[in-house]
């Protein structure tokens, strides 16, 4: 698209936007009665207007039925609580490119990561003192500088197996020239360490740089070397198209409070490829992951529920699930293909209005295939002052030390006019 840096051009794009009506489905934060330019959906998405009604419905069920809400429903409800999580499966499967049996909403992201690592990280080391550890598959490949919570989880499981993180976790580092991790770098690392790798775990989208990794190619490389691979999709789900089933990804987890707009601390979810559903994988079992048709027999010996549901451990948070279902239904209705098309245009327009400012370096790749909604701006001089100025002007982004401003024009509710106004604010400041 050939962009023009003018208000008329931005408004024309908004007028032609087939998704523009979805903005009316969200509460836009205001200051002194004026809507803010909210470009922080990569940190916390906005509240759907259906959220309050969805929550109220389950509060009414609780009020009127008490414990019987698990098996009965009140007027206006369409599902007792017992199988409530299943009502999210169709939308989730569309969003991540999976079969409904391969996904399940549950827990929080890092909790799910621990549960999945218990199943998919099985180092082949007999003991920490083996003479030739390089002949065993026990190492984990990841990317350097991934989100800290993921790093902590990996370290925890490595130590749990009596291993040392420094000797076990292999990190692929960004290149010095552009600060990015290239697909070929990851492929070369997989090939180099294939004989010792027990697992590959990494983000699908880098939280700091906004770089989208080529998950399809990386997953294919992992399969070629018979290494299980999992993805943290916190910044990918609802942001970029995913085809987890077709790519052969072994497992994944995500949060839903960013691009899925599920609310602060919203419920997470998991993907487990159907090729693992009949395997007797180790797992940290819990009552809610037991076969539903026999769950109330209360007998010893864990019998997992079919599919991804078998990784559940605890009673689901119905109120959180109600918000989750209300939010993901909007994303599924809009469709990831249409959202991606608008996202590329919005982010491209933001890149265009930023181009004149030499004080700003865009860390995110300029290739649309390697980025989602987010652009990460490095501002070496007066970066925090610029961020504070934008906030004062009603432009809400995200600051990352020491010199990074993250802006994420989200296609469900952001407009081209808002992007244009970012450029105008920067021009006045710089």
- As a whole number, the mean pLDDT across the chain is 95
In a shared domain, residues 84 and 29: no
Predicted confidence (pLDDT) at residue 132 exceeds the cutoff of 50: no
pLDDT digits (tens, 9 = 90+) for 146-186: 999 999 999 999 999 999 999 999 999 999 999 999 999 99
Q: For 130-154, what is the mean pLDDT?
A: 83
61 domain-assigned: no
Please, which pLDDT band fits residue 2 given cuts at 50, 70 and 90? very high
In a shared domain, residues 35 and 182: no
| pLDDT > 70 in the chain, percent | 97
What is the rounded CA–CA span in Å between residue 107 and residue 37? Answer: 31
Is the distance from CB of 377 to CB of 362 less than 8 angstroms?
yes
Q: For 402-415, what is the mean pLDDT?
A: 97
What pLDDT score was predicted for residue 397? 98
218 domain-assigned: yes
Q: For 264-283, what is the mean pLDDT?
A: 96
- Domain range enclosing 81: 68-333
Select from 304, 333, 362 the last residue of a domain: 333
Predicted confidence (pLDDT) at residue 350 exceeds the cutoff of 90: yes
In a shared domain, residues 166 and 33: no
219 domain-assigned: yes
1 domain-assigned: no
Q: For 353-365, what is the mean pLDDT?
A: 96
What pLDDT score was predicted for residue 127? 37
Please, which pLDDT band fits residue 389 given cuts at 50, 70 and 90? very high
In a shared domain, residues 312 and 405: no
pLDDT digits (tens, 9 = 90+) for 63-118: 999 999 999 999 888 899 999 999 999 999 999 999 999 999 999 999 999 999 99
Model's pTM, two decimal places? 0.95
What pLDDT score was predicted for residue 76? 86
Q: What are phi and psi of 308, to 5 degrees?
A: -65, -20
What pLDDT score was predicted for residue 124? 76
In a shared domain, residues 395 and 421: yes
What count of residues does the chain have?
Answer: 430
In a shared domain, residues 342 and 270: no
| pLDDT > 90 in the chain, percent | 94
In a shared domain, residues 278 and 346: no
What is the rounded CA–CA span in Å between residue 96 and residue 249? Answer: 11
59 domain-assigned: no
399 domain-assigned: yes
The total of structural domains in the chain comes to: 2
47 domain-assigned: no
Residue 349: CATH number of its domain: 3.90.1150.10
Select from 333, 355, 384 the last residue of a domain: 333
In a shared domain, residues 101 and 89: yes
In a shared domain, residues 29 and 104: no
What is the rounded CA–CA span in Å between residue 86 and residue 352? Answer: 43
Residue 285: CATH number of its domain: 3.40.640.10
In a shared domain, residues 101 and 229: yes
Please, which pLDDT band fits residue 125 given cuts at 50, 70 and 90? very low
In a shared domain, residues 227 and 375: no
DSSP strand pairing (37-38 vs 395-396): parallel
- Lookup: tokens for 75: 């007027």
Q: For 378-398, what is the mean pLDDT?
A: 97
Q: Is 71 exposed, middle or buried (0-12, 13-18, 19+ CB in 10 A)?
A: exposed
What pLDDT score was predicted for residue 134? 41
Nearest alpha carbon to residue 171 among 158, 182, 186: 186
In a shared domain, residues 322 and 249: yes
pLDDT digits (tens, 9 = 90+) for 185-220: 999 999 999 999 999 999 999 999 999 999 999 999
pLDDT digits (tens, 9 = 90+) for 76-88: 888 999 999 999 9
Select from 311, 333, 355 the last residue of a domain: 333
- Please enumerate in sequence order all residues whose Cβ is within 8 A of that of 136, keeping only pairs 6 or more positions apart, or say none: 123, 124, 125, 126, 130, 196
What pLDDT score was predicted for residue 131? 40
50 domain-assigned: no
Give the torsion sign (CA, 247, 250, 253, 256).
positive
């Amino acid at each position: 698209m050939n962009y023009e840096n003018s208000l008329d051009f931005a408004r024309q794009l908004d007028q032609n936007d087939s998704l523009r009506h979805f903005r009316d489905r969200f509460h836009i934060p205001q200051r002194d009665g004026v809507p803010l330019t909210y470009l922080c959906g990569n940190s916390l998405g906005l509240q759907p207007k259906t959220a309050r009604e969805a929550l109220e419905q389950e509060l009414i069920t609780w009020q009127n039925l008490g414990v019987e809400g698990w098996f009965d429903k009140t007027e206006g409800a369409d599902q007792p609580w017992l199988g409530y999580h299943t009502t999210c499966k169709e939308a989730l499967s569309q969003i991540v490119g999976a079969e409904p049996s391969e996904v399940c909403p549950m827990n929080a992201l890092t909790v799910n990561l621990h549960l999945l690592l218990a199943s998919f990280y099985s180092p082949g080391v007999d003991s920490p003192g083996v003479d030739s550890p390089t002949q065993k598959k026990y190492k984990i490949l990841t990317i350097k500088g991934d989100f800290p919570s993921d790093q902590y989880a990996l370290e925890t499981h490595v130590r749990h197996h009596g291993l040392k993180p420094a000797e076990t976790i292999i990190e692929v580092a960004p290149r010095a020239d552009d600060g990015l991790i290239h697909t070929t770098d990851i492929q070369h690392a997989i090939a180099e360490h294939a004989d010792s790798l027990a697992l590959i775990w990494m983000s699908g989208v880098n939280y700091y740089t906004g770089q989208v990794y080529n998950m399809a190619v990386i997953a294919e490389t992992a399969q070629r070397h018979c290494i299980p691979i999992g993805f943290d999709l916190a910044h990918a789900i609802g942001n970029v198209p995913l085809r987890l089933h077709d790519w052969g990804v072994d497992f994944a987890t995500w949060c839903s409070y960013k691009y899925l707009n599920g609310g602060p601390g919203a419920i997470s979810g998991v993907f487990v490829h159907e090729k693992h559903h009949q395997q007797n994988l180790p797992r940290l079992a819990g009552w809610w992951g037991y076969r539903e048709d026999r769950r109330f027999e209360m007998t010893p010996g864990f019998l997992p529920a079919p599919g991804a549901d078998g990784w559940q451990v605890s009673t689901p948070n119905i109120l959180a699930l109600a918000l989750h279902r209300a939010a993901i239904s909007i994303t599924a209705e809009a469709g990831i293909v249409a959202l991606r098309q608008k996202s590329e245009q919005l982010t491209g327009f933001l890149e265009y209005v930023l181009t004149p400012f030499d004080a700003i370096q865009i860390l995110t790749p300029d290739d649309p295939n390697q980025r989602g909604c987010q652009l990460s701006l490095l501002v070496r001089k007066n970066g925090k002052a610029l961020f504070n100025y934008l906030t004062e002007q009603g432009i809400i982004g995200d600051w990352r030390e020491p010199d990074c401003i993250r802006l994420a024009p989200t296609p469900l509710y952001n407009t081209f006019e808002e992007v244009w106004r970012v450029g105008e604010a920067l021009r006045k400041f710089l």
